[in-house]
Amino acid sequence: MLYRDYEPALCIEAQRKLVADLVVSSPRVSGGDIGEIFLDAEGLAYTGGEGKFCRDLLRLVSARGYTESVVGVADSAFAAALASQVARHRWLMIPRGEDRRFMAGLPPGLLPLCDESKETLRLLGIKTIGAYLDLNLDQIRHKFGVEGERAYNLACGLDQFRPMLPLIEKSFQCILDLGGPMESLTDTIFVMKSLIERLVAELVVAGLCAEEMTVSFFSDDLLFEERPIRLVKPSNHGKFLLEVLRLSLEATPLAREFTAVKLVISRTTPESFEQIDLAVPDHDLDFDQHQIINRSAFAYLLQRMETRLGEGAIVHPVPEDQYFPEMAGKWQPLNLRQSINEPVEDPGSDYALRILDGKGLASGLVLKRFPRPEPALVELYGSNPVSITFDNRWYRVMKVTSAERLSGLWWEEPVRKSYYMAMVKPAGPESNVEMIMLTLNHLNRMWSVEGIYD
């Protein structure tokens, strides 16, 4: 059984729904981190007290399927969050004015500090938040900076966060019933243009940008295609959104004609006021301005590529912590949504660059791999290859290196291979020499040519 990470988008959506439902308990409700909701619990003395509030709240939340909820009640939001974390029962109420005393006995690991700061506190022998509060604030500022000062204030019960009235969710969608079938791309784009213009006007008024669009096509009320299109960068520019839709339709044409179309801006984000101007003359700009413009231009390029070729269209090479030649690097997709960058195990290349000045860090010649290794028939003299047959040709081995024997990955798919670099000359009077990567798989005793050096 594997533990899988939760999907943040789904969790945020579920939390948003729960926040909307909790309005019946308190008019001021705000979501915090995932799984954390804050309610204003002021003025409950005449409505049954805080105990009844907790019971009603838990009943309501349980009815929505969240049966392991815990309620913490305190003067400040941070203290209430800690109370819910350390509560041994379904709820924990901190008496009025007792936040600081309550938190003083808790471990400092609960404070919003980075791991490094927490480790420093541990080494300093600070075992409780109370001991942290005994430190001088100037010392905290000096050692832990703004983060430490904020943690200090929170531990004192000074939390500025207050639950707010929940925002009304607005949906941006348009449906157009054409009354007849439509198939041509030009006509479809024309229809899309009118839908986008309307939605963009609404987005601009609301100060929002589209992050994701979903376009649905109907044929006589039957939904036959629904296409979510994720934008590499939030935008409320009609021309850009139309271009993205056009590219999507060009890359994957519709399977049939449609009679109605629905366009939904399925995800939005507050508008950024970064300038997008690609036509600025070079000499008027310094490097930083260039960077900003290039980022915008790159966003447009990436969007075009991803719409046509799919996500991860543009990649860049990064080293990975592996010594098999074919696995010692990885093509990592470039994207402007940093949150979805795939983690790569850094082999400490900065250290290697500093120590070795880059010598020997990269391989010798450039290898071009075949789509799949070509099986080869190898004639040996002793243990050294002297001639090879592959790709329906016979090659004499002019020079071959000693084998680089590598094994590992027993926990996934075991690999035991010997790698050779060979200089070969094909049969024929005027043939040029070629450099190839020859491997012997010790698991199945099979020789292969993995690729050629070019």
Partner 1 sequence: MASKANVTALRQHLEQLFPGKWLVGQEQGSSQKLLRTGIGDIDAGIVRGLPRRAISEWSGAASSGKTTLLRSAIAYWCLSGLSVAYIDTFSRLVAADWAFVEQGICGAMPANLAPRKSRHRGRFMAVRVSQRLDATRKGEITRVALRKEACWVAEQLIKSALFDVVVFDLGGSSFVNDRVYARLHRSLERSRTALILLKDTGARSGPEGSNSSWGAHTRASFQWSDSFSTREGIDNSVMIVPSVKADLARDGLGQRVEIGFSANVSNSLFTYPQIPDRRTSKTRPRTKG
166 forms part of the interface with partner 1 (CB under 8 A): no
- Torsion, Cα 409 411 412 417, to 10 degrees, reads 30
Site for partner 1 in 293-312 (CB under 8 A): 294, 297-298, 300-301, 304-305, 308-310, 312
Q: Any contact of residue 427 with partner 1 (CB under 8 A)?
A: no
Asked whether the beta carbons of 395 and 426 are under 8 A apart, the reply is: yes
- Indicate whether 165 belongs to the interface with partner 1 (CB under 8 A): no
Please, what's the b/e burial string for 15-54 (b: 16 or more CB within 10 A of its CB; e: otherwise)? beebbeebeebbeebbbeeeeebbbbbeebeeeeeeeebb
Q: Does 436 bind partner 1 (CB under 8 A)?
A: yes
Tell me the closest approach of the beta carbon of residue 198 to partner 1, in angstroms: 29
Nearer to partner 1, 29 or 126 (CB): 29
367 in contact with partner 1 (CB under 8 A): yes
Among 107-115, 135-143, 416-424, 438-446, which window interacts with partner 1 (CB under 8 A)? Answer: 416-424
281 lies in the binding site for partner 1 (CB under 8 A): no
CA 154 from chain centre, in angstroms, equals 30
- Contact between 39 and partner 1 by CB under 8 A: the answer reads yes
Binding residues for partner 1, total number by CB under 8 A: 95
Q: Examine residue 239 and tell whether it contacts partner 1 (CB under 8 A).
A: no
- Regarding 206 and contact with partner 1 (CB under 8 A), the answer is no
Q: How far apart are the first and last CA of the chain?
A: 45
Q: Does 243 bind partner 1 (CB under 8 A)?
A: no
Question: What are the CB-based long-range contacts (under 8 Å, 24+) for 79-87?
Answer: 79/103, 79/157, 79/159, 80/38, 81/32, 81/36, 81/38, 82/106, 82/110, 85/110, 86/110
Of the pair 72, 148, the CB lying nearest partner 1 is at 72
Q: Which of 323, 337, 342, 414 binds partner 1 (CB under 8 A)?
A: 323
CA proximity to 156, closest of 110, 104, 105: 104
Taking CB under 8 A as the rule, does residue 415 contact partner 1?
no
The structure tokens listed for 387 are 């001639």
Stretch that binds partner 1, among 149-157, 261-269, 314-322, 335-343 (CB under 8 A): 314-322
Q: Radius of gyration of the chain from Cα atoms?
A: 31
* Nearer residue to partner 1 within complex by CB, 95 or 310: 310
Q: Is 222 in the site for partner 1 (CB under 8 A)?
A: no
User: Is 450 within 8 Å of 326 (Cβ atoms)?
Assistant: yes
Examine residue 43 and tell whether it contacts partner 1 (CB under 8 A): no
> Least distance (Å) from partner 1 to the CB of residue 58?
7
Judged by beta carbon, residue 203 or residue 378, the one nearer partner 1 is 378
Burial label for 128, CB within 10 Å (0-12, 13-18, 19+), is middle
Q: Are the C-beta atoms of 215 and 245 separated by less than 8 Å?
A: yes
For residue 104, the minimal CB distance to partner 1 (Å) is 21
What single-letter DSSP state applies at residue 294?
A: H
- Indicate the residue among 141 and 399 with the shorter CB distance to partner 1: 399
- What is the closest distance, in whole angstroms, from the C-beta atom of residue 81 to partner 1 in the complex? 6
Q: Tell whether residue 452 is a contact of partner 1 (CB under 8 A).
A: yes
